[in-house]
Amino acid sequence: MEEIEVLLVTERDFLPHERDRLVALFQKNLGHPFRIVLTRCADIPRSPREKFEEFVSRVVT
């Protein structure tokens, strides 16, 4: 696993320097230089139990 997608609900797109800063922050907090993909979306879907999942693994084994 080398890539992490981060879903974000925002009113506007990020400026390049904002995007770079967010990516660096995620990499620092995760302790590994993963490829971080920031994806803007209208909303973040809830789980079947109507909860927000902080982390969803879609690793295929």
49 vs 26: CA distance, rounded Å: 27
| Predicted TM-score of the model (pTM) | 0.76
Per-residue pLDDT of the chain (61 residues; tens, 9 = 90+): 789 999 999 999 999 999 999 999 999 999 998 999 999 999 988 888 888 877 778 787 7
50 vs 32: CA distance, rounded Å: 31
